[in-house]
Amino acid sequence: MFERLRTPTPFQIGSVNCYLAGRTLVDPGVASDDAWSTLTDALANRGIEPSEIDRVLITHPHPDHFGMAKWFKEVGASIWAASEAVDIIEDFPGRLEFEQSYFRSFLVDHGLARDVAETAVQLPEAYLEFAPSCPIDRALDDGDRFEVAGTEVVSERLTGHASGECMYSWQDGEGEHAIVGDHVLQQITPNPFLQPPSEPGEPRPRVLPAYNRSLERLAMRDFTSLLPGHGDVVDRPTHRIDRLLEFHERRTEKVAHGLDQPMNAAAVMRDLFGDLPVTEIYGGMSEAIGHLDVLELRGRVERSKREGVWYYELVE
């Protein structure tokens, strides 16, 4: 039902997949002149003006997926996103400031040098110009149903890759399908990025354990295809999901085997990846802490604070 339209980004990930069905777009891409001209040219080739787009659906509030939403809203489109994503998209600079404030100390508490942590949390400021805040017209709850091009589509929650993440699923004569954003990618293992608490003072989400559970739920659905935010269509979804879960399990065991003495997350990150450039530190720390979270929830490691830094050690 949905046709893929690729739009460029200035980011390392490369192009992002936008999807079109009737007069509905999903994940229009970054707010850049290059992306706008690419997408509007693709629409024009299909006889559609930007002002004729009725609705833009967002899978998750990352700049390469929602950035152009405001531009389509300005020419008349209605913008829809998961209810948990609304505050993020409507005030993206405010959300970034909240994340920076939280992770500035959090990363230091997990063993990262203060100057490195400061640089790592400042880097995302470069994304702001590509993701202007945008009012949301409809906040979607889990299980909400609506029609796209004559077909019933369901908004369903996902957890693990981003705050406020959802997928859009539907059925046809061939089976069940879904647009999944960056939750499942064919060529890349998605990043389970660290997320701050939903509110100050609340517990931090344990992202990788939640992501693993989310993948397990998807694997039980026997989808015919998954349409990802980057790369090719996932046409063997259960097989691909199994490979992702196996990858995470192998890495979790690698982290466990490396804990021959108490270690902080920054040391675990260096064991996994060596010396990373500062541009990859946040992703590296997300990986290290994610696997430590899995081990802690399984009762295999415990943590304690030493001179203000969290250390993890295997349980005898």
Tokens 């995302």 locate to: 124
Say how many domains are in the chain. 1
Phi and psi at residue 20, in whole multiples of 5°?
-125, 130
Give the pLDDT confidence score for residue 202 in this predicted structure: 87
Predicted confidence at residue 199, as pLDDT, reads 80
Residue 52 counted as domain residue: yes
The pairing of beta strand 24-26 with beta strand 16-21: antiparallel
- Pair 120, 278: CB distance under 8 Å: yes
Q: What is the pLDDT of residues 196-219, one digit of tens each?
A: 998 878 899 999 999 999 999 999
What is the domain-level CATH number for residue 240? Answer: 3.60.15.10
Intervals of the chain under pLDDT 70: none
In a domain, 263, yes or no: no
The predicted pLDDT at position 143 comes to 98
Beta bridge partners of 146: 153
Query: Residue 294 falls within a domain, yes or no?
Result: no
**220 within domain boundaries:** yes
Does some domain include residue 200?
yes
pLDDT at residue number 201: 82
Give the C-alpha distances (Å, rounded to integers) separating 5 from 43, 98, 106, 275, 302. 9, 33, 38, 37, 47
Does residue 308 come out as left (phi exceeding 0), alpha (psi in the -120 to 50 range) or beta?
left
Q: Which helix (H) or strand (E) holds 43?
A: helix 33-44
Q: Which of 134, 160, 128, 163 is nearest to 57 (CA)?
A: 134
DSSP 193-227: -----SSTTSPPP-HHHHHHHHHHHHHTT--SEEE
Residue 160 belongs to domain spanning: 3-257
